[in-house]
Structure 1
Amino acid sequence: MKKKKTLILMAFVISLFTLTSCSDDDNNVVTPIPSNTIADFVAANSDFSSLGAALDRAGLTGVLDGTTAYTVFAPNNAAFDAFLASNGFANLEAVPTDVLTQVLLNHVVSGTNTSSDLSTGYIKTLAEEATTQNTLSMYVNTSNGVVLNGAATVTTANVDVDNGVIHAVDAVIDLPTVVTFATADSTFGSLVAALTREDSFTYVATLSTKTSPAPFTVFAPTDQAFADLVAELDGVNSLADIPTATLEATLNTHVVAQANVLASTLTDGMIVSTLGDNFTINTTNGATFTDLNGRTGNIIVTDVQAVNGVIHAIDKVILPSLE
């Protein structure tokens, strides 16, 4: 009898242990966490279906579905519709793949950049200039919200995803030309005024082209540089007082055609051949230049890269020979 009771007790213990083990196994089942990459977010949101289709066509969906962190400025469907209409494309399939790829990469920045990380100035996208493969710049203006290249506004910021952050924007950010940056960056307001002062000037049209004589290298004087020039020249009280021929010759002396000259290629004593007169680069005590009148100035910002050339900001207007 005692043996029978022992067997019954053992069976009860074994059954209890089995039930407990099963219960523990059930409790330890790990439910996979759904993936929420940039690509996942785009695919799950119908308002970004055009962006998703564009990424698929350009072969970039996989890039945004990995572990590398990116910041994406994401245009909605209405933004893509406006982009296609303004560029004469019937649909996404009509956009050349190489062009579409670079336009999309122009919305992507390396790393995670929340809105608090952004400040007024230039950042680099993943798009490239064709002759140098230098990555394109993007001008960020945070004075009133976040505006990109003077054209696209962030409408929803800081959408966290597994591999970075998304900021929704209300326009497709087209590939910037040197004119894009000149007009978007208020530092160059006087330069734009000079380039457009005369109806006969064709600078804007020329510097907007993406074919020959592009690419351009533009040494762009700041507003303060033009203010200093007005104070320097005799009988001149404003930009409007500079004789047209002198202004045109001066503007020509700031533009190099058919060359995307990066700061890394500038050397001491280098003669820069422009559409106007030449000037000399000096690199022994920082990046400076000397014009044909012996006037010197500083190169204060370098390698603002556009799709059709590069801008270097300078703090003094370069004058052609005044003799």
Structure 2
Amino acid sequence: MKNVNFLKSVLFAFVAITTFSCSDDDAAPQSNTIAAIASRTPDLSILVQALDRAGLVGAVDGTTQLTVFAPTNDAFEDFLDDNGFADLEAVPIPVLRQVLLNHVVAGAVQSTQLSTGYIETSATFGGTASGNPLNMYVSTAAGVRLNGVSSVVTPNIIASNGVVHVVDAVIGLPTVVTFATADPTFNILEAALTREGDNITDFVAVLNGAGPFTVFAPTDAAFGALLTELSLSGLGSIPESTLDPVLKYHVASGNVLSSALTPNGVTTVTSILGATSTFDITLPGTGGNIANVTDGAGRASGIVAVDVQAANGVIHVLNRVLLPN
């Protein structure tokens, strides 16, 4: 009898172990998509809610390789407070969708593969499928900082469909001012736009507006050359009555991409300074310029970079400050 009972016990144990092993083998493997990783991360719960509300869960739960800069819950709370939204439900879905897409970059890009400069996000100008992709300025001078407002705090969470980098602030849709502020190429331009004193025009307020604007942005070297040309000691030496029209002369209405310029010819641009305040852009450029520019004073300069796309306009980079006359 004892032997029979012993055999029954062994048989029961064997069946139990076999059953457990089979059910373990049959269990579905844990998903490791970007969406699944976010859903398992408590500090990304508002991001998950936002993706669901904007209808973007499927976009980060497939096989397409993506890089997602994922804002923490605190980052989302700050974003809602700063923009006057009572909660996530108060954010219009088209706005929320574009803001979220502004955190998504095509391809799996680890932090060590990022370099200082501009990359394209999945958000678009005008929020349309055919709109030009918005740019993001990446600085790697000290860690990874995005558009001057958000830093990567946890990099390189590897997903089956890409990479997640956790960030400490929501990256809002950039204006042309965003790039002038974030990109050190434009430090003097930023100083000119924000110069303390009795400025005739509040350029920050204007250029943060709906626009759209096309901004021809001189580099720091271009401003340095202007000061030398005019025998001035610094930006503060330029009278406001002179600086204001010069800055306006670098802004035109509309979102004019380089593809809209006349190929193998001349495009005349009318600035917001007035109907008679124009300058000519000639394609192709010479001497390393993408395009040559002749200003109202008959001076020659060049466009050296094009199509830095913001949500309210586009920036083309100049190697010389333009003068209206």
**Equivalent position of 1:19 in the other structure:** none
Per the TM alignment, residue 78 of structure 1 is displaced from its structure 2 partner at its CA by: 0.6
For residue 198 of structure 2, what is the aligned residue in structure 1? 199
- After TM superposition, list the pairs within 5 Å mapping 1:44-123 onto structure 2: 44-123=40-119
Shift of 1:141: 0.4
Q: Which runs of 5+ in 1 are unaligned?
A: 1-21
| Equivalence for 2:259 | 264
What's 2:11 paired with? none
- Cα offset, 1:35, TM superposition: 1.6
Spell out, residue by residue over 1:46-65, the C-alpha distance to the aligned partner (whole angstroms, 9 max, x if none). 11100000000000000100
How big is the shift at 1:295?
1.2
> Aligned-pair RMSD on alpha carbons?
1.9
Deviation at 1:199, TM superposition (A): 3.0
Q: Which residue of 2 aligns with 1:228?
A: 225
Aligned to 1:154: 152
2:80 maps to a residue whose letter is L
Question: Does residue 282 of structure 2 align to residue 282 of structure 1?
Answer: yes
The reply on whether 1:311 has 2:315 as its aligned counterpart is yes
Query: Which letter maps to 1:311?
Result: I
Shift of 1:196: 1.9
Of 158, 163, 166, 2:164 maps to 166
Partner of 2:136: 138
SS in 1 for 2:164: strand
1:236 aligned counterpart, secondary structure: coil
State the shift of 1:300 in Å.
1.2
Distance in 1 (alpha carbons) for counterparts of 2:244 and 2:218: 14
Instruction: Please report how far the alpha carbon of residue 143 of structure 1 lies from its aligned counterpart in structure 2 after TM superposition.
Output: 0.2
The 2-side partners of 1:207 and 1:296 are apart by 26
For structure 2, list consecutive stretches of 5 or more residues without a partner in the other structure.
1-17
Shift of the alpha carbon at 1:116?
1.1
The 2-side partners of 1:300 and 1:158 are apart by 33
One-letter code aligned to 1:309: G
Question: Aligned partners of 2:292 and 2:118: how far apart in 1?
Answer: 21
Q: 1:257-297, CA deviations, whole angstroms, 9 ceiling, x for partnerless residues?
A: 2x000111112211000012210001133312111222111
1:255 Cα deviation from its structure 2 partner: 0.2
Match of 2:298 among 282, 294, 299: 294
- Counterpart CA distance in 2 for 1:293 and 1:126 is 40
Deviation of the 1:30 alpha carbon = 7.1
3-state DSSP class of the match of 2:134?
strand
In the aligned structure 1, how far is the partner of 2:46 from the partner of 2:284? 51
Please give the per-residue CA displacement for 1:238-272, whole angstroms capped at 9, x wherever unaligned.
11112222211111110012x00011111221100
Alignment counterpart, residue 176 of structure 1, candidates 167, 174, 180: 174
User: Shift in Å at residue 133 of structure 1?
Assistant: 0.8
Question: 2: distance between equivalents of 1:69 and 1:47?
Answer: 23
Between structure 1 and structure 2, the one with the greater Rg is 1
Q: Which residue of 2 aligns with 1:190?
A: 188
Q: How many residues align?
A: 293
Q: Partners in 1 of 2:239 and 2:270 — Cα distance?
A: 23
Aligned match of 1:219 in 205, 216, 219? 216
Q: Percent identity among equivalent residues?
A: 53
